[in-house]
Structure 1
């Protein structure tokens, strides 16, 4: 379904808000990532052989293919082992990363990109333009942004060993931003031999050209994933800035540990057994605030949304009236309070599909999500032909926020007359089961909750669960030609005022067909040992520039 300046302790504003000075860029380009504005200089200290960083992220690593899966754990893995052609800086602008230089025609329809010299994969093979082209093509088969770029492309061709060209068939104003796609199915460059794997087949070889090497022999799903510094990696000369700039690794080894029990993870952080928790359970935050040697900071300065995803293929939520009934049963503030989000870090009500508190916030056609109206919900369910069958609501119990949100929403839906079945599983299992299209009584499902950050949701192009393409969409499989037409019009429209009107039209249509329901917007703090330096508010967790003192 988004780290620190110098660490910000627990100085948190009353509500998530965009970073200052970014409004015009976001409103104009539509892909401003709202990453943090402050970034420390890229120190060139050598990695210490004994420097092992131990981290607990939202979920442990369950699979390796960043194209086939949109799960955050695969994206986090991807930023360690791969590199990007372009990367979003702290102002949300796409900067060359693997690309050394690029040229474009005056009308923006023809582009040529040249890779940096000396880039190499972990197996020693040079990075070639053919690798980049194959990676783009595979990514574009799955990702919502990649599909939009591919639909606007006339030709994508290798020019020579280090250069490739892109020719557009129709206007697409966000080429660099698309090639900097940092989340969902993020665009990472892998060897051509791997990128030629069908997008429907998962790759199991984590060979990339990024700053860390994956130790496949030490990977134990449900326990740990291990990475070590890539001694052959050549960082850019610029300081790190957002997700862009020089990726100088200052640790020798990184252990990504699975600790689904929140109290166990908090105790391990206090004792120094681990160094960082990406998203501590809200109920342990007060304890960590008082703990000696522990600091809190906003890894994701804008915040998260809880997304409730219905399955549009099977009853009852294949009928839009049944999906609209959810709006009259879910109370966002109730969900956030149940998840233990402190009042200072929650928005009691947010009707926007594009994050509240940002320049693209919209309230067009907003309905429900405040006070429950079970009577209205029952009417809609009756009109949709709901017959009392079980509604299977998948519950990832290894995530405290997902678990609390799921149980709270399930109780609200039950009060509205739905018969609920809430099977418990871990997130990795959920990400597999949600791909099943069968009816719920044949192993399928009806609902699940995911948590998205600003990079997942910031505009009509990048919002991965808003896309409703009928064919080839993400699990849940919404289908609405009108919503797709409005989304496409938004990213093709050059006039800012018209784009704003189109944005509201996209939001209004989304409230009619409900590809998903926003069950609440909030922010949480990450926690780390006070001797860990170099962490930055990068929205997604990255570990170049980080060191132990």
Structure 2
């Protein structure tokens, strides 16, 4: 699971590492305000390495300075980006790709296949989808400076979709030097071939990040669509500013001191919509989904009956309302896959349709032998929707008879503690909260949380062979109709074993000055190309 654009509503992550090296603008004439966009995103950039982390702020940074081989368009279809042409052998095992002309790193050197090959390999180790692709790859190799080959062990219909996905970490292409870095280690230099260049001289980590138009970037000729097509930069500079206090950010937006505010509080949207100089716009159609992580390693949720009991306890409406207030911004959802996605379904959702049933929950708790032991629930106090969801769920569980102990801390500490496999009373945990973009939750492969591979999996470490067999079937399916059939089977099984749970879906509109237009609607990433300031 990632730290999404909605995961951090205030600055709570460590400042990004200091970068050095060629290709970073250190000094130039400061562009006028009319050619500069000042944006307040959801938090700080935790690292300049967008492959090492799933944090969306690092992906935002990555989309500015790096490029991808393919990109999803507005219809979520993969389209060539750094690639000029590609083809697949008759047996569908050998894919050949050719890089387009004009690709250069910001240090002036040419982008070659020698860069693309290790970039793909490093991404595949860190990415949830890449980890499913990796066992199916026989080899990734360079044929010549502009051509590389991905040889598969078996046909894999979703190869291009995975290379194009905007779910973090994106398959950003880095220089050979950075791409050959151990995937478990962060890179320490920023040399990209994307539409912007990081201006290290003007950047003050933890405060502001300055990106200048890359004068040597050659965009594609097609119109922009999603993160595909021509990435034409129409301003000279973009500045990401950290502004944790929402009232300060709203006042700055209304005063024209900033141009874009990613996550204005829901209770202030009416105020912003009433301002003739402000546009409130939803850039992420599927929104986000609240995720409840359950620890399978320790009691009580190592017991399936006690995980099932939670299905009859959680009432999504009560968990969403305190944060999102108006139902026009949120919805309850019983599907294992995001509501509104192509594979949303209602298999095995009688528990959801029937509503909260504490008597049923208590019966399952008795069957599971719950002994009254404490349930340690991690609560991120600096992220309102997580804090509120934890408060409400703790109350709901206590009503059924669970002994819940809230462990309040900021999000950065939740991120640290959720990685612990220690018993809950020795620094571990039983339940934590996060969220993920609707696109990532629209299929069984984009995020690690959909896997049930035990110790090698994502936080919670569920184990279930049936789920993995069905995920494999889904990946091999060649049509949407085939995938829908398998998706219903995955969901039927998932709501029996309960690897994790959800607390609903919501949208979080952005707000920007009306004279700043051209925003592209892309899941998980905010593109600053194509944006015009008049």
Same fold (TM over 0.5): yes
Deviations 1:91-127 (A, max 9, x none): 1111110111111113322110011123122233321
Which residue is 1:542 aligned to? 527
1:192 & 1:321 partners in 2: Cα distance? 50
Shift of residue 187 of structure 1?
1.0
Deviations 1:39-61 (A, max 9, x none): xxxxxxxx954422222223322
Question: What number of residue pairs does the alignment pair up?
Answer: 505
1:167-206 superposed matches below 5 A: 167-206=151-190
1:221 & 1:395 partners in 2: Cα distance? 27
2:113 & 2:372 partners in 1: Cα distance? 56
Instruction: Answer yes or no: is the 8 Å Cα contact 1:466–1:510 preserved in 2.
Output: no
Which residue is 2:423 aligned to? 439
Aligned mate of 1:305, from 283, 289, 306: 289
Instruction: Answer yes or no: is the 8 Å Cα contact 2:319–2:392 preserved in 1.
Output: yes
Instruction: Answer yes or no: is the 8 Å Cα contact 1:332–1:519 preserved in 2.
Output: yes
Deviations 1:287-346 (A, max 9, x none): 111123111111112222111122222332233333222211211111221222422232
Structure 1 residue matching 2:216: 3-state secondary structure? coil
Shift of residue 238 of structure 1?
1.6
Instruction: Answer yes or no: is the 8 Å Cα contact 1:94–1:180 preserved in 2.
Output: yes
Structure 2 unpaired stretches of 5+: 6-29
1:423 & 1:216 partners in 2: Cα distance? 38
Higher RCO structure, 1 or 2 (CA under 8 Å, sep 6+): 1
1:210 aligns with 2:194: yes
1:143-542 superposed matches below 5 A: 143-216=127-200, 222-347=206-331, 349-369=332-352, 371-494=355-478, 497-539=481-523, 540-542=525-527
Shift of residue 384 of structure 1?
3.9
Shift of residue 89 of structure 1?
0.6
1:311 & 1:222 partners in 2: Cα distance? 33
Shift of residue 198 of structure 1?
1.8
1:70 aligns with 2:40: no
Instruction: Answer yes or no: is the 8 Å Cα contact 1:260–1:398 preserved in 2.
Output: no
Instruction: Answer yes or no: is the 8 Å Cα contact 1:330–1:369 preserved in 2.
Output: no
- What value does the CA root-mean-square deviation take over the aligned residues? 2.4
Instruction: Answer yes or no: is the 8 Å Cα contact 1:297–1:527 preserved in 2.
Output: yes
1:364 & 1:225 partners in 2: Cα distance? 46
TM-score (norm 1): 0.86
Instruction: Answer yes or no: is the 8 Å Cα contact 1:335–1:408 preserved in 2.
Output: yes
TM-score (norm 2): 0.88
Structure 1 unpaired stretches of 5+: 4-46
Instruction: Answer yes or no: is the 8 Å Cα contact 1:57–1:256 preserved in 2.
Output: yes
